[in-house]
Amino acid sequence: MINQFQEIFYDVDHNFGSDISLTSVNDIAHSSGLKRSQQRVLRRLLTNPGDYIWHSDYGAGLAKYIGQSLNFGRNDEIKSKIISQIFLEDSVSKDVQPEIFFQTIEGGIFVQINYTESESKTPIVLSFSL
């Protein structure tokens, strides 16, 4: 009988811009699977390049667009940054092109990214505002 082990990756459960999550007994919570994927993609997209001193090329820097409005050039610029960074995450399937949608909202831009998680092939909808 052959034992098969599935490697499961865990990260600290942390939503970008919030505190680290704790368990009911005040241990540091962890995330895995789809939640881990969403957290990692969002962190990568909103982190400014150079903010992580050991990984100076990490991040798309989308936070610089907070409060700005959409126009044709900005739409393409943001989309290009998302595409170039999202495929650097191991949890994003390289087989399916992500769909990216923008909408102007009061005081900024609403972003929705539809991508496929690589391990489970589950479609994920990730949305946030800039």
Per the structure, the complete domain to which residue 91 belongs is given by 36-129
Look at the chain and report how many structural domains it folds into: 1
Least confident of 11-20, 38-47, 57-66, 106-115: 11-20
CA angle, corner 123, sides to 14 and 63, nearest 5? 45
Phi, psi for 52 (deg, rounded to 5): -95, 110
- For 64-78, what is each residue's pLDDT tens digit? 888 888 777 788 999
**pTM for the full predicted model:** 0.78
Asked whether residue 44 is assigned to any structural domain, the reply reads yes
Distance set, CA 129 to CA 44, 90, 112, 121 (Å)? 15, 24, 9, 26
Asked whether residue 22 is assigned to any structural domain, the reply reads no
Asked whether residue 92 is assigned to any structural domain, the reply reads yes
Asked whether residue 74 is assigned to any structural domain, the reply reads yes
- For 36-71, what is each residue's pLDDT tens digit? 888 889 989 999 999 988 888 899 999 888 888 877
Which residue from 9, 2, 30 is spatially nearest to 119, judged by alpha carbons?
9
| 61 neighbors 50 (Cβ within 8 angstroms) | no
- Kind and range of the H or E run holding 38: helix 33-46
CATH number at residue 57: 3.10.450.40
